[in-house]
Structure 1
Amino acid sequence: MAKESKAQRVERIKKEKDGLDVLQDIYLYAVTGEAVHPEDIDRLKWYGLYTQNRNLQAEDDETLYFMLRVKLEGGQLTLPQLKIVSEISEKYARGTADFTTRQDLQFHYIRVVDLPEIFRLLDTVGLCTIFAAGDVPRNVVSCPINGIDHEEIADVRDIVDKLNEAFKGNRLFSNLPRKYKIGVNGCSKNCMHHEIQDVSFNAAKTDNGKVQFAVSVGGGLASNKRIANHIGYVAPSQVVPLAKAITKIYRDHGLREKRNKARLGHLIESWGLEKFVEVLQSSLTFRIKEPEDLQYTHSKFREHFGIHESKQKGKSYIGCSLNSGHIGVDGLNNLIKLFEKYEATALKCTVTQNIIILDAPTNKVKEFAKDLEEVHIYPNPSNFRARTQACTGIDFCKFAISETKGVAKKLVEHLENKFPEFGERITISVNGCPNSCAHPHIVDIGLMGTKVKKEGKPVSGFELLVGGFLEGDKSQFNQKIGIKFAVEDVNESIEELINEYNISNFSSFHDYIITKAKQ
């Protein structure tokens, strides 16, 4: 008998037992201590669980540890929720906690035996891990300042809630060809990056002031590296039924024969956009209005840092930069103390691994911001710190070749020290492997984990990618320029790049780096 391909194995596993049904096995494994069946390990993703790298694990420790991803619907964490995730981090995750580019929170060192109690704790504050991973609709991303931003086009919180409710734990959508990502945007800055979502809805105003949503489909990175196609407009009430219709088409017709060709964008490429829209339209009871050219904010300016007056009377929001999403138990506890000190109640995380405190009292907001700075949460980040992202990296990810979070932290501090007056926003992404988890293809400087030779020996390092950004149909993906370096040479290599730019005649770093890529 021929050996199963990866795709055949995954499809068989999903048919034999729905990923949602592994929950009862999780409790059984936790009670009995029985080793998790290899095929159930795949299904555990449906509850946000991935086996983690043994890189930091003691040689005599045979425990099977997991990364656990918690969905933060709307990207939100309330004060009671902060207290619970801090407790989980301290008791069960060795103090780990990181925000992700999908507005989720991740823990490491999670043991199966602890999952029943972790799930119970999460449930007490309305959090869960269902569909945080796996071949399912993932967390719906959106602008973190929905409803409190004076410049927003529309408050889309209700639509985000309805979409999450429609898809979360829904068996109709528990076996998709691969992961599936939806975004909804009411923000004037397009901050949820619609260009790389499988399906997205961008609020826009008609000439008579009514809100409609621009629909885009088929975006993605890694094996599905393509900019989403704008296919037209729908009314707010049509967003959820349209999202369901697209998902059903993807479920029934997605390309399941190869895992690296199984995203919605691959189906659109296979069918052609015209056929896809035709099939979609035939399944609807309403018409999608004709598409038209749209203008979008450049991705390096899609941010909400600093202090801003909220729509809530007497309240302000504070946009803050973190170290590539890393928060840890100490950071969580610092936030809890400051929330209690200033009577704040909630934060939201962003798709760039940062956070926004939603309801700081305006009469104390400057003191609040100063206290945040004291605990290394930055309301006014440098041009290097503001948009630096990093994936999980070799410490915990089985796919990674290089370390990331620490590299990103040291790089930012190095550049801040070397170029304290640098006046231009630069976007940076540090990735441990080619899977694009920290979006290296859409930033000025993308570091992609790889093996390089140093002094004749293979060592962990990075390949340099440059010149990526998002701006609707003007978007560009990064380009390779043939430069690789070892992990320990990252700081000096990027410093040299910026020094070259500073003495050049170029008026922007992007223009300089694109020209360098063409040389």
Structure 2
Amino acid sequence: MTTSTPRKRTRKANKPQGQWLVDGKEPLNDDERIKQEDVGLSVMQRVRDIYSKEGFASIPPEDLAPRFKWIGMYTQRKPFLDGTKTSTLTNAELQDEYFMMRIRIDGGLLDNKQLRVLGEVSRDYARNTADFTDRQNLQLHYVKIEDVPTIWDKLGSVGLDTNFGCGDVPRVVLGSPVAGIAKDEIIDASPAIETVVKDILPREELHNLPRKFKSAISGNKRQDITHEIQDLAFIGSEHPEHGPGFDVWVGGGLSTNPMLSQRLGVWCSLEQVPDVWLNVVRIFRDYGYRRMRNRARLKFLVAEWGVEKFRHVLEEDYLGYVLPDGPEPETVTGYRDHVGIYEQRDGKFYLGVKPTVGHTDGEQLIELADLADKYGVTRLRTTADKELLFLDLERAQADKLASELEKIGLSANPSAFRRDIISCTGLEFCKLAHVVTKQRAIQLVDELEERLGDLDVPLKISLNGCPNSCARAQVADIGLSGKILTNDEGERVEGFQVHLGGAVGCGPQFGKKVRGNNVYSTELGDYVVRIVQNFKKDRSDGEQFRDWVSRADENLLV
């Protein structure tokens, strides 16, 4: 793996943006100062030695935020603070003395013993809370600082941890949940993910980035890692000369300034993926904009440089070699998720089920571990669509297990509404949220099934508590971004800004905002039912929702 020292690139004199190789390392804000003074992971020992013994009040502000992010922990929102308080109170006023804890599951790799421990930790130390995330992680809530060392030790006993669950570091590496077993796989990316996580991620040189860095590596033909919205992604690609390898994408990200990632135009082999991954992160470290945190993501650098310059800098200044041009990957249509029963390449089967919006609890996780034991399953997987997969089943076993899972609310054949809905944490726990999301999403699915039954095409519905789009509002068929609205009586109430027709996959695009198209939370069910009914009546044969939105009269969209 290359370790060349990059050449310093200069620009015209203007206001410093905090690019280390242009402006130097003098910190331009408090976050940068704090990170330079003390590497984030060092806070772990203070948790063990001091804070877990002396309690929440002993934690100094600069450890509580931002350094606790490096160990996968945020303070959660105080209860009974409505969404109007989000923009008027400080973070310290909004935060509770309990934590959200994010357990990192790179590539979605999980076994039955780990699943059982996750359930026990949830039950014993997190008030039975547990949620699968769209980053293949598991999140817990109501964690007390006094219990954190015990939780870490219990997780560590089965090879799990919370390191870099949050923070200005490389976050969990997304991977295909069926890497190495899928019949439709181009190449197994597992060795590359393993090298990145075990050999590269521990390097201290990567522990202070301008902002978070999201990456994904999948060789599955289904392109099951949302590569269009990652900082860096590798997807399976068959090169006419070099064979199976990866197409590279950079510069994606959502939030309040969404951008789709762009093809770098290169092909790289499985063996080259860790090297390319490392050096893209190094470019971000050295040239990312650190002065203003709302412009500190890699997407802004890619947008300014363009992919041609980015590729040139990567190859000339960092890798030290030129990557071959890559063919454009095949366009994939249909579902990318793994809900249902599928044959593996070895003749066995895997079963994928989806808890509604990824919501589960500790007792259910233990029950799922029991079912895995009952059917001899040792390998499980989490996914970027908040599913849980059971691998290596005989067909008869898969059918029986699917029946048992159905009884506890996890279906291998859910309605289109239940299959495709997603939400963020929302007002229940998040200090940035304006509205309740998760509970409302569960209620919305029940209402749609009761009033509409099912739908014969995919329909991704996304509920977000704020404009930051943790649940991908801008790339959903119906994306809902939480905000506070004023009703006819002059009251400030919960509502959503509506985005329609967004998509990843075939022809990725952002949803459009119809002028003035906001909906009160109390009227959400009626609105979505009305839109779906309009779609069913007005669409042509086989037409997808996003294509209908692009041509439909506006009166059908409000």
> Same fold judged by TM-score > 0.5?
yes
Would the alpha carbon gap of residues 503 and 148 (structure 1) be closer, same or farther in structure 2, given more than 3 Å must change? same
Distance 2:358 2:408 in 1: 15
Measure how far apart 1:44 and its partner are: 0.4
Distance 1:513 1:328 in 2: 37
Partner SS for 1:277: helix
Structure 1 stretch 102-111 or stretch 339-348: which is displaced more?
A: 339-348
- 1:2-21 pair list within 5 angstroms: 8-21=29-42
1:44 aligns with 2:68: yes
1:289 aligns with 2:354: no
- Which residue in the other structure is 2:85 paired with? none
- 1:179-328 pair list within 5 angstroms: 179-207=212-240, 210-231=243-264, 232-282=266-316, 283-298=318-333, 301-312=335-346, 315-328=348-361
Q: Give the letter aligned to residue 551 of structure 2.
A: T
Deviation digits for residues 347-394 of structure 1 (CA, Å, limit 9, x no counterpart): 211111112111233332211101111110110111111111110010
Distance 2:442 2:52 in 1: 36
Q: Give me the TM-score of the superposition, normalised by structure 2.
A: 0.87
Partner SS for 2:235: strand
Measure how far apart 1:209 and its partner are: 7.2
1:29 aligns with 2:51: yes
Moved segments of 4+, more than 6 Å: none
Partner SS for 2:493: strand
Deviation digits for residues 317-371 of structure 1 (CA, Å, limit 9, x no counterpart): 0011211111112321221221122121132111111121112333322111011
Distance 2:199 2:551 in 1: 46
Distance 1:166 1:267 in 2: 27
- Which residue in the other structure is 2:500 paired with? 466
Would the alpha carbon gap of residues 386 and 419 (structure 1) be closer, same or farther in structure 2, given more than 3 Å must change? same
Measure how far apart 1:129 and its partner are: 0.7
Structure 1 stretch 222-231 or stretch 192-201: which is displaced more?
A: 222-231
Measure how far apart 1:422 and its partner are: 2.4
Would the alpha carbon gap of residues 330 and 515 (structure 1) be closer, same or farther in structure 2, given more than 3 Å must change? farther
Distance 1:45 1:197 in 2: 20
Which of 173, 178, 182 pairs up with 1:145? 178
Deviation digits for residues 94-115 of structure 1 (CA, Å, limit 9, x no counterpart): 0000011111000000111110
Q: Which runs of 5+ in 1 are unaligned?
A: 1-5
Deviation digits for residues 73-125 of structure 1 (CA, Å, limit 9, x no counterpart): 22122111111111110111000000111110000001111100000000000
Q: Give me the TM-score of the superposition, normalised by structure 1.
A: 0.94
Distance 1:416 1:214 in 2: 39
Q: Judge conservation of contact 2:219–2:245 (CA < 8 Å) in 1.
A: no
Structure 1 stretch 280-289 or stretch 437-446: which is displaced more?
A: 280-289
- Which residue in the other structure is 1:477 paired with? 510
Q: Judge conservation of contact 2:356–2:419 (CA < 8 Å) in 1.
A: no
Q: Judge conservation of contact 2:239–2:327 (CA < 8 Å) in 1.
A: no
Distance 2:299 2:415 in 1: 36
- Which residue in the other structure is 2:88 paired with? none
Distance 1:516 1:166 in 2: 51
Q: Which runs of 5+ in 2 are unaligned?
A: 1-26, 82-94
Partner SS for 1:452: strand
Q: Judge conservation of contact 2:463–2:481 (CA < 8 Å) in 1.
A: yes
Partner SS for 2:41: helix
Distance 2:553 2:118 in 1: 43
Measure how far apart 1:421 and its partner are: 4.3
Would the alpha carbon gap of residues 398 and 183 (structure 1) be closer, same or farther in structure 2, given more than 3 Å must change? same
Distance 1:307 1:193 in 2: 22
Which of 393, 415, 418 pairs up with 1:360? 393
Distance 1:443 1:517 in 2: 19
Measure how far apart 1:516 and its partner are: 4.2
- Which residue in the other structure is 2:113 paired with? 80
Q: Identity of aligned pairs, percent?
A: 35
Partner SS for 2:213: coil
Structure 1 stretch 133-142 or stretch 167-176: which is displaced more?
A: 167-176
Structure 1 stretch 455-464 or stretch 180-189: which is displaced more?
A: 455-464
Deviation digits for residues 399-418 of structure 1 (CA, Å, limit 9, x no counterpart): 00111111111111111111
Q: Judge conservation of contact 1:56–1:396 (CA < 8 Å) in 2.
A: no
Q: Give the letter aligned to residue 76 of structure 2.
A: Q
Measure how far apart 1:505 and its partner are: 4.5
Distance 1:291 1:222 in 2: 30
Distance 1:228 1:511 in 2: 21
Would the alpha carbon gap of residues 270 and 505 (structure 1) be closer, same or farther in structure 2, given more than 3 Å must change? closer
Q: Judge conservation of contact 1:190–1:296 (CA < 8 Å) in 2.
A: no
Q: Judge conservation of contact 1:233–1:289 (CA < 8 Å) in 2.
A: yes
Measure how far apart 1:21 and its partner are: 1.0
1:370 aligns with 2:391: no
Q: Judge conservation of contact 2:497–2:517 (CA < 8 Å) in 1.
A: yes
Distance 1:268 1:505 in 2: 38
Q: Give the letter aligned to residue 460 of structure 2.
A: T
Aligned length: 508
1:425 aligns with 2:458: yes
Partner SS for 1:417: helix
- Which residue in the other structure is 1:99 paired with? 132
- Which residue in the other structure is 1:66 paired with? 99
Measure how far apart 1:291 and its partner are: 4.0
Partner SS for 2:172: coil
Q: Judge conservation of contact 1:173–1:251 (CA < 8 Å) in 2.
A: yes
Q: Judge conservation of contact 1:320–1:378 (CA < 8 Å) in 2.
A: yes
Q: Judge conservation of contact 1:131–1:168 (CA < 8 Å) in 2.
A: no
Deviation digits for residues 185-233 of structure 1 (CA, Å, limit 9, x no counterpart): 1111101011111111112122357212111111111145111111111
Partner SS for 1:403: coil
Distance 1:101 1:501 in 2: 27
Would the alpha carbon gap of residues 450 and 249 (structure 1) be closer, same or farther in structure 2, given more than 3 Å must change? same
